[in-house]
Structure 1
């Protein structure tokens, strides 16, 4: 089997710099000219220009821009709004190219290792594409094939995006996305490793084995490599197909989605960091298919303990416990005003879990903007109080809360979130979670978290 070593080729990176840099160069020149001449920056216009320039590109830069647009207050609202319109879909590789790539990954006889293999891609995205196939055991398979030179593309695109963000920071010193950028970069680099993704798929299969309403594909090891991932095919429909369904149907889907994301987090300290609409589908029996395990975050058990402590602190009005939770996460120099400000965002996130009654996740919010206004107010106040940099772990915690909140608003789900949450955290303690996490990682063949 060939070892396809294209993850960080100097020539590949130079070529990517040229393609992405051409798109960004004009924007940088206009920005610099405005600054030298003292002209005010029209943020809405500049954000639109960035979106138009990125819109003609494919690959990691598209995915990174989309991720940034969904993290509360990572970017000014004008930029978040524009970048959220980008699509991560990419043109599929043609069949001759697919054959060469499959031969590189599985050898000359690759076709004989499948009972059938569809030439046309079933889906194409920023880092690779998926083909339907059938195994010799009769199972339907999804074959995820990474595009070439993705390692070079990731590094080149990160540097180009740094340039754009750096230009903006030169205009507005109050915006600092450095920790967010580092967290996203680490996760994006991990997404290139399909062997790691296969391990995470096994991890989720283990963690959700007792959840009848969730389905996880199974990786097929002898048909997979570092850049080729073959797994069982899961059939389902997009969640937005159910927006007009009856209330009971929409509620059931929301309940299943809630457990899909938060059973792994509160019982094992693991979260799926990308609740994008394309990363799950719904079966006819309303159970959930969880897909794409490239973006997964494993948390120290004490971090999850802080999440539970803060919930109990807000519920019981226990400020000392709230301080303990924030200190557990790494906050230092906590003043009364800072604690009160942090509690504003925490109260927004936890509010649906406080009331023992069926309710919308938040009646005042819109699906695409869920949490953004609240987060912007809190982050603006934090900047006024001094250099407060939330822990990197918050990036995907916020993404999960905001992303799922948007889904629940799309569905207009009317659910008792309090009872759902209490069922998941019943009997919680940090030592039990640590043992469960260790056992799950061992079962999946992954190193300790």
Structure 2
């Protein structure tokens, strides 16, 4: 092992040990506070966020993810974790050159007409460089930071501490399945070959949808830790929040199509609602024409039975058919469905499905700020579950719920006014679970998944 690599390994090991000790110390402090009957929620939450902040990168992604799933954590903890930022500094040019050499060989620079030294974006697991290929195509090269597999495993170990702490503090929700689901998805994000397959999957699923652009992948310039895709020009979505209503609605409709069509027809969702994963492309007159879907690391593929449960719950709520509602929950994997628990689950279902059941033009949540979307309903659910819990949340529910919240937040940012009922009815028209299974099987095989 070279000296610089040995030094990095030693520094990383020391950092993990330090953060682990800090998290353990905060856990002991919280346990002591509760034993003494002292409520120090906000102070303990800030201390835990500070301890976790010693590890940048993957854990920040996980912590922010948890904060977007209402009531997985107490409100004061969610508020603190939302402040954490993925602020790992980008790799310098000398380091990038070594990493690119490791992925494409010593002559890697000769395989590009140009390659920008400064990254155009830096994220929790890697950074993106704009480049031009020898055949003249402008591309985005996403290069994974070194040592990410070890970093992810260390961070997930800290996540286990956080979840076990939550179970001791509050037994309303059993978070073990949530932890398993998050761990599996985050590990998948390390595999850029899989992400390339996800991009191919979306290109197939949305091939007939002109409002959503999916970048093509350059397999000849990609590896398991380097993903080279077509560069899609676009503007940040938040730049359009003060544009006219028609323009904002056009963007929202494209977002709805990008999310609901793959799910309702193929059982696939884009599980990362981060606004940085979308840009808006415009027509010749400068008006929004659709969205570019840029990142494919966090994709959730559901069994067709789960999609059927989503449709059954909607139909059951619309018609007041309790038997169909219960069947939907059972299909998702909820167990021990007594009347009291069904009523509690219906509070959350009413929030998620409310705009879809309302046949009129409206905002996604009248009078609610983006950062508060779902919080009131989550509090109601949590309060009720304290009397009934612990309730195990099925793992497949985690990213479905998170993505729905994220999509709703986008609609709130855009202040879109749409008939969500009509959009949803169009998406599930002639729904057939067997057809979803057939489409999904063909699409996955085609994408190499």
Is the pair's TM-score, using the shorter chain for normalization, greater than 0.5? yes
Spell out, residue by residue over 1:140-183, the C-alpha distance to the aligned partner (whole angstroms, 9 max, x if none).
10000001111100111111232234334433344532221111
Q: Does 1:84 align with 2:53?
A: no
The one of 87, 91, 103 aligned to 1:93:
91
* Contact 1:13-1:152 within 8 A present in 2 as well: no
Aligned residues: 438
The one of 281, 302, 324 aligned to 1:321:
324
Residues 10 and 163 of structure 1, relative CA distance in 2, 3 Å threshold:
farther
Spell out, residue by residue over 1:390-436, the C-alpha distance to the aligned partner (whole angstroms, 9 max, x if none).
21111111111111111111111110111111111111100111111
Give the Cα separation in 2 of the matches to 1:28 and 1:325.
38
- Aligned partner of residue 283 in structure 1, secondary structure: strand
- Aligned partner of residue 282 in structure 2, secondary structure: coil
Cross-structure match for 1:276: 274
Residues 133 and 24 of structure 1, relative CA distance in 2, 3 Å threshold:
same
* Contact 1:43-1:78 within 8 A present in 2 as well: yes
Cross-structure match for 2:407: 404
Cross-structure match for 2:392: 389
Residues 133 and 194 of structure 1, relative CA distance in 2, 3 Å threshold:
same
Task: Structure 1 unaligned segments of length 5 or more: list them.
Answer: 1-5
Spell out, residue by residue over 1:8-29, the C-alpha distance to the aligned partner (whole angstroms, 9 max, x if none).
x997974452253355355345
Relative to the length of structure 1, the TM-score reads: 0.93
Cross-structure match for 2:431: 428
Cross-structure match for 1:179: 177
Q: Does 1:350 align with 2:348?
A: no
Cross-structure match for 1:291: 294
Q: Does 1:336 align with 2:335?
A: no
1:201-212 matched pairs, under 5 angstroms: 201-212=199-210
Task: Structure 2 unaligned segments of length 5 or more: list them.
Answer: none
Give the Cα separation in 2 of the matches to 1:102 and 1:84.
33
Residues 411 and 378 of structure 1, relative CA distance in 2, 3 Å threshold:
same
Instruction: Give the root-mean-square deviation of aligned CA atoms.
Output: 2.0
* Contact 1:123-1:131 within 8 A present in 2 as well: yes
- Aligned partner of residue 365 in structure 2, secondary structure: coil
Residues 443 and 365 of structure 1, relative CA distance in 2, 3 Å threshold:
same
Greater alpha carbon shift after TM alignment, 187-196 vs 84-93:
84-93
Cross-structure match for 2:228: 230
Cross-structure match for 1:310: 313
Residues 438 and 175 of structure 1, relative CA distance in 2, 3 Å threshold:
closer
Give the Cα separation in 1 of the matches to 2:58 and 2:438.
36
Residues 279 and 212 of structure 1, relative CA distance in 2, 3 Å threshold:
same
Cross-structure match for 2:370: 367
Give the Cα separation in 1 of the matches to 2:135 and 2:343.
59
* Contact 1:281-1:289 within 8 A present in 2 as well: yes
CA offset at residue 55 of structure 1?
3.5
Relative to the length of structure 2, the TM-score reads: 0.93
CA offset at residue 59 of structure 1?
1.3
- Aligned partner of residue 309 in structure 1, secondary structure: helix
The one of 103, 110, 121 aligned to 2:108:
110
- Aligned partner of residue 142 in structure 1, secondary structure: strand
